[in-house]
Amino acid sequence: MQKILIANRGEIALRIIKTCSMMGIETIAIYSEADKDMPFVKSATKAFCVGEPHVSKSYLQMEKIIDIAKSENVDAIHPGYGFLSENAVFAEKVKNAGIIFIGPEPKTIELMGDKIVSRQTMEKANVPVVPGSSQGIKTIEEACNLAELIGFPVMLKASGGGGGIGMVLCENEQALVKSFETTKKRAMAYFGCEDVFIEKYISNSRHIEVQVFGDNYGNIIHLFERDCSIQRRHQKVVEESPSPFLSDNVRKKMFATAIKAARAVQYTNAGTIEFIVDQDENFYFLEMNTRLQVEHPVTEMITGLDLVKWQILVASGEELPLKQAEISASGNAIEFRLYAEDPVRFLPSPGKLTTLQWPEKEGARVDSGYVEGGTVTPFYDPLIAKCIFYSESRGKALEAAAGFFKNVKIDGIKTNVPLFLNILENESFQNGDYTTHFLNKNK
């Protein structure tokens, strides 16, 4: 490949540009009017404005993005994460334009994007799924009967949902009745599909995912796990590898199951199989993310591999660079998502970064889309940076993180750094004893 258009912004756009530069590949950035002064715009070989600040008028403008790609004769489009990264229609349009889409096949994105269809697919492949419905539920009577059968509490979910949107915990029948119609309407508004389904709610659970990679020659490998259990409103806040919870025996079973799941859809490029794990280490398929994950640096730190480079190589038609037996993991890595947000009310805190200074710490990696003097606008996700810490032991990685966040200097806006310090000082977290309820229990 000689030239790649990056259909994204901020931190992930810079991340892709970095690898492309190392590979001698030119980059084309797209940006909204609100992002014209962002570092990723200046770092690309060329950059083009695609519209007004709102995503619907800029970063979701499929035809405009593809027109730019064609006019610049790019070889491929990298969608990053979010925006159009899991949009099967966009992936198909890119292919039809004679441009390589850096990701899986459009049919795979579509298949895994519908949670009901993905459940059905995994059931056929003998991959364990959470007890629940594998068909869309049409009536409240049907929902109540199923919930009674599998037992409350249950999760009511939108089939097209993602990012925690369209998920409601129902403790009893009254709560289910109250939420049913509003969840269907919310699903239609956000995802264009009102289908909902029910799953058994797994209490005291962990959220653990496995990074997988496939090529066009039938090779599929795993790149170990990431524990993403520290969440707020179903949104990941902290991710680490290896998981401090999993036993080696269950870990191996989870890797084998993840590869089985990827093979079931003939997966190519980077993807993630997400599992929910109960307190007895029984694990169930949750969903598949058909893209590069926000937290991919965690895997890069423990393996020493460049996942964006692998994406480009596979999309170019090459085989996976390594076989499973040639891949190893060492040490511990942990990532914190640093947001521009009020640490008490957890609301976005946009504004100018009058000070943005990162401490120099051994084993620390900062992937940021901003520099000092930049502005976090209200139009997009308020992620300022991903701060990743690596060491030979988990304890030392946590020590490095604590020292880093005590000395980071950010002024002009509020951030969730105080939340990180509270997490790092918590004895249960230090011992690796936490579930997806950790933040609710430790406010």
Residues labelled catalytic = 291
112 vs 159: CA distance, rounded Å? 10
DSSP labels, 3-39: EEEE---HHHHHHHHHHHHHTT-EEEEEEEGGGTTSH
DSSP 268-334: -EEEEEEEEE-TT--EEEEEEE-S--TTHHHHHHHH---HHHHHHHHHTTPPPSS-GGG----SEEE
Give 79's contacts (C-beta < 8 A, 6+ positions apart): 7, 8, 85, 87, 90, 91, 101, 102, 103, 291
CB proximity list for 236: less than 8 A, separation 6 or greater: 207, 228, 230, 294, 295, 337
Q: Which of 305, 154, 161 is nearest to 221 (CA)?
A: 305
What tokens appear for 39 in the block?
Answer: 């570092």
Cα-trace Rg, the chain: 21
Amino acid at the residue 164: G
State how far the Cα of 392 lies from the Cα of 276, in Å rounded to an integer: 27
Report the candidate in 172, 225, 170, 229 with the shortest Cα–Cα distance to residue 204: 229
Tell me how far apart the alpha carbons of residues 423 and 410 are, in angstroms, rounded to a whole number.
19
